[in-house]
Amino acid sequence: MFINRESELEFLNESYGDSKAQFVVVYGKRRVGKTELVKQFFKNVRHIYFLADKAPEKEQLRLLSEKVGLLYKDEFLLSRGFGNWHEFFRYIKDKGRVVIVIDEFPFLIEANRAVPSIFQKGWDEDLSGSGIFLILLGSSIGMMETEVLGYKSPLFGRRTGQILVEPLSFRDAKKFFPDKSDEEFMYIYSILGGTPAYLLQFDPSADLWKNIRKKILVPEAYLFTEPEFILKEELREPRNYFSILRAVSMGKTRVSEIINETGFEKNVVGKYLSVLTDLRIVKREVPVTEKSYEKSKKGIYMLDDSFFRFWFKFVFPNKSFIEEDETGYVINNKIKPEMDIFVSWTYEEVCRSFVRKGLLNGMRFNKVGRWWTKDGELDIVGINEDENAILFGEAKWSAKKIGMDILNDLKRKASMVDWGGEDRKEYYVLFGKRGFTEEVREIAQREKIFLYSVLKADF
């Protein structure tokens, strides 16, 4: 199943229609659908697809030579192979319009740190004047941004386009489960996020708890070992990263708290968090009103991957029960009592996404995020600096309708936000799974406060 990615495909197809040489960088976290996107693009055109791995450079060249030799039926190339990358560039430059895809390009860089310089020379001297459509893919976002896209990279300025493949939105991800209600799917989305490879694991015809039992809480299941596999594949010291991630999943969000929980030195924690951030497993957040993201001392760390968040909260600490086939105990005593609290975090992020996309009567905000101090926090704050406008909002995944207590508390906390001065324009929004009391509806209509369930909105 291939869902969405229309704009990305359109860009690739339009670029292919241009006869000039193309050099496109495609990157994004693992399992997000980068390779499938590119395969959809090249399925009807002549192409060479090569998946790099951790083998030595000489072995990588041999495997690439075999791919090229098979396409062009070149027995000499099949038997001898390319001796170096320059031979590959010189060979391919006269082959007309052909798509060349090198997947997991960072592995080539790990095998030879000079690879970016080698590819820069190959592009400048051989490929830039050819009909080649070169695509470099990578899951290590940090390495792709520094070694391929960064201004210090030898390849800087060569690309003709780049695509950061993001996880699917709530609305697009739901297309995998067309028969589920939005409320049912919110639980699934909270667990699996917008990662297509994970969404494909769940059975659309089964209920939530059967899917959790059969697709996650079984030692042989793909999802049971997925976070461990990714960490071992990406990192040299996965055990230490496990300690960091476990601490964050337990609510230790500040660097000082992570240090106390793990016992690691400050510089070690900083290095690990930086790597996990590059992999989009962890993210650093600051209050949205902060003037400098980098310099803010209010930064906290959160798990940025929904499935990692679920796995470290419910699977990792209960592995002994699961391996002893006590899945019923884990579901009934560990997961179910905390599931709605767990889902509420995702619901808040979906509501923030709703605001980011300008779906509040078309209103646009430059920045949308959370806000907090030691005295309180707000789920949603949107800022429009051009109009000196600010939006305050709360999102409640609750079985009760939102009443005046929530609205009054929202206004109280809004008054604490120091931004925009006395002349700022203020707007308010409430998101509630079960709707709103009549009193809230009456006041909202009178004061022009936005009310949404979101789950019934098209976003």
| Mean pLDDT of the 330-347 span | 97
Residue 227, pLDDT above cutoff 90: yes
Range of the domain at 235: 171-338
396 and 312 in one domain?
Answer: no
Question: What's the pLDDT at 346?
Answer: 96
Q: pLDDT for 204-223, tens place per residue?
A: 999 999 999 999 999 999 99
Angle at CA of residue 397, ends 394 and 398, nearest 5°: 110
Joined tokens for residue 135: 């695509």
Helix or strand run (H / E) with residue 303: strand 300-303
Task: Calculate what percentage of the chain has a pLDDT beyond 70.
Answer: 99
Provide the whole-model pTM: 0.91
Dihedral pair phi/psi, residue 347, rounded to 5°: -60, -40
Nearest to residue 398, comparing CAs of 432, 349, 352, 347? 432
Nearest Cα residue to 379 out of 323, 429, 453: 429
pLDDT of residue 193: 96
Measured CA to CA, the distance from residue 81 to residue 61 in angstroms comes to: 7
- Do 206 and 331 sit in the same domain of this protein? yes
d(CA 68, CA 66): 5
Asked if residue 94 and residue 46 are part of one domain, the reply reads: yes
Identify the band that residue 457 occupies on the pLDDT scale cut at 50, 70 and 90: low
Q: What is the pLDDT of residue 375?
A: 87
149 shares a domain with 195: no
- β-strand pairing of 132-138 with 161-164: unpaired
Q: Indicate if the pLDDT at residue 29 is higher than 70.
A: yes
Kindly state whether residues 118 and 90 are assigned to the same domain.
yes
Mean pLDDT (the chain) is 93
Domain identity same for 66 and 121:
yes
> Which residues are within 8 A (CB) of 184 and not within 5 positions of it... i.e. 6 or more apart?
177, 208
**Angle 257-259-263 from CA coordinates, rounded to 5°:** 130
- Tell me, what CATH number does 134's domain have? 3.40.50.300
What is the count of structural domains for the chain?
3
The arithmetic mean of pLDDT across residues 289-305, rounded, is 91
Read off the pLDDT of each residue in 411-427 and give the average, rounded to a whole number: 95
Looking at the structure, tell me whether residues 159 and 19 fall in a common domain.
yes
Ranges of H-type helices in 374-419: 404-414
Pairing outcome for strands 282-285 and 300-303 = antiparallel
Same domain for 151 and 89?
yes
pLDDT category at 255 given cuts 50, 70, 90 is very high
Please, are residues 64 and 82 in contact by the beta-carbon 8 Å criterion?
A: yes
Model pLDDT, residue 1 = 61
Q: What is the pLDDT of residue 454?
A: 76
The residue out of 164, 198, 220 marking a domain boundary is: 164
**What pLDDT is stored for residue 140 in this prediction?**
85
| Residue 195 and residue 310 in one domain | yes
Say whether pLDDT at 183 is over 60: yes
Rounded-to-integer distance, Cα 329 and Cα 451, Å: 39
Residue 458 forms part of a structural domain: no
Quick check: is 413 in a domain?
yes
Residue that is last in its domain, among 318, 338, 358: 338
pLDDT of residue 459: 46
pLDDT, tens digit, 9 for 90 and up, residues 352-400: 999 999 888 888 999 999 999 988 999 999 999 999 999 999 999 998 9
Give a yes or no: residue 103 inside a domain: yes
Distances (CA, A) of 22 to 7, 38, 84, 95: 18, 14, 22, 14
Distance between CA atoms of 267 and 71, rounded to whole angstroms? 49
Give the pLDDT confidence of 84-139 residue by residue, as tens digits. 999 999 999 999 999 999 999 999 999 999 999 999 999 999 999 999 999 999 98
Does 459 fall in a domain? no
